[in-house]
Structure 1
Amino acid sequence: MRFSRVLRVGAVVAATSLALAACGGGGGNGGGDSQNESLVQRAEQGRLTIGIKIDQPGLGLQTPDGGYEGFDVDVAKYIAKELGVEEGDIEFVETPSAQRENMIQKGDVDFIVASYSITDERKQKVDFAGPYFIAHQDLLVRANDNSIKSAENLNNKKLCSVRGSTSAQNVKNDFAPQADLLEYAGYSQCLNGLESGAVDALTTDDTILAGYAAQNPGKFKLVGANLSDERYGVGLRKGDTEGRQAINNAIRKMQQDGTWKKSAERWFGPAGYKVPEPPAIDQ
């Protein structure tokens, strides 16, 4: 009798364990086996969690009503739809620059579309689809500041960027070794510092800076430095070849059917930004 009772208890424990394991699968907020699923498999469940920026006008911005808008948001929605997931079934999550690789690796997001430049260092931790856009690093200064006309003019001046971004360090390494680097949590804080005079310049991609300039007419201007090429990619779990190919197919279709150009002109055109041709996608 005792032996029979032990068997019954063991069966209950085993059944409970199986049920818990089943509940743990699926979704982008994973852990466990869900991290081993491909993006395509997760999309088949009807929902996706996508990382974006929420403080970048023209790229990824949270609106007062709680929605999201911008070129990156349009790209994310297009990819999701091509994977079979409608806009209403997307959960958008803010992904700070310094946390992007970690959030992908942990399964907090299914993929990231957040002005995410493809670099060899990042490719050691995550995979990239794309590129879907090529931006250029530039400088934003106060409209009445004529002392900064190039990156070399930043020696002994305060240069701001966000934590986890390589932009400010690139300027210090290659153009202005005496620049005083300030790193804030978000671009909006850098912008506030620039407006108040706490910093002298903000550096990041020209797409982001154009959005801020358009949002604050008469306050800021772009220097036009074109310091680097920034190849924006869609970040996803390393080794997910199927997911990467599916995203590339979606980006290619977005370019070919005119949606890519229409979105880029909508979000970047008002700032006088000349929209380039769509980039070739890495194979």
Structure 2
Amino acid sequence: MTASLSGGLALAVMVSTDTAPTSAASVAANSADAAAVRGKDPLPNRPDFRLPFPCGVKVLAQTYPGHDKDGKKIDMLRYGMEWNSPITASASGTVHQHFSPGGIEIRHGKGWFTTYMHMKKRVKVGSKVKRGDIVGYMSDVGSKGRPHLHYEQLYAPGKNDADNQHMVRAIIQGRGPLDMYKETPIKNWKSTNCKSPAPKKYYVVTKAKTSGYTSPKSNKRVGYLNKGKNYVFCTAPGISKTLPKPKTTSKWWLKTDLDSGQTGRWVPAAYLGKGSGQPKDIKGKTIPRCK
């Protein structure tokens, strides 16, 4: 079986022995697969997996007879870039394993894993990655002269490592569970593995060092923000707080990254010393409400 890419490049469906490492079987994953054949996905907490290619890239996804017994394994190729395409994390997680040929496994939490094979320049074991981060580059490691990405989703609840028997039918960008023997080939599949744009920053001047809190309606301290020029992302109403000098009371709060403690936490807008109205930045622009 062959599939043609734009530009006249013909890609033969490759016979290989792609497989993740093996150990004891997972009853939960196997029973879930039986339900998946009926068009259901009974597995809990599946991440919002995206195609493991950069945003907007078009991909060919396929399998071949004998690849595996029930259509779970997927071989992917990128239109217009046969070699060296960046491969991106399908969901956020931790790279916990390297294996041959050219493979990595990412642990996503709550029993979910993905594997990516035949890559070069793999990200290091222990790396924490976000969805869309580059984890390697498509190559022909272990499949000489036939560059492609081998991709799997695995479910191994309660385990820190997933193996071949934990493989399940993939759901990618809401499509699936995929029986690749029925779906092959999926042509011109556009990746929506797009990183969220960085949040806009608004600059303010805090009149004094202030504690940071878990939410605008909480008194739980989780760090502090220093006096001086700081950036914030947005604002929201909550518990009224008072800056002693100059005395300023406000119900408004500002979401920011603390100087000591956690990111994405809250400080009272009273510490701007600007009154009780919705806060403004140093240019006089009203800081928007958090969505």
TM-score bracket relative to the smaller structure? under 0.3
Q: TM-score, normalised by structure 2?
A: 0.20
Q: TM-score, normalised by structure 1?
A: 0.20
Larger relative strand fraction: 2
Rg comparison, structure with higher value: 2
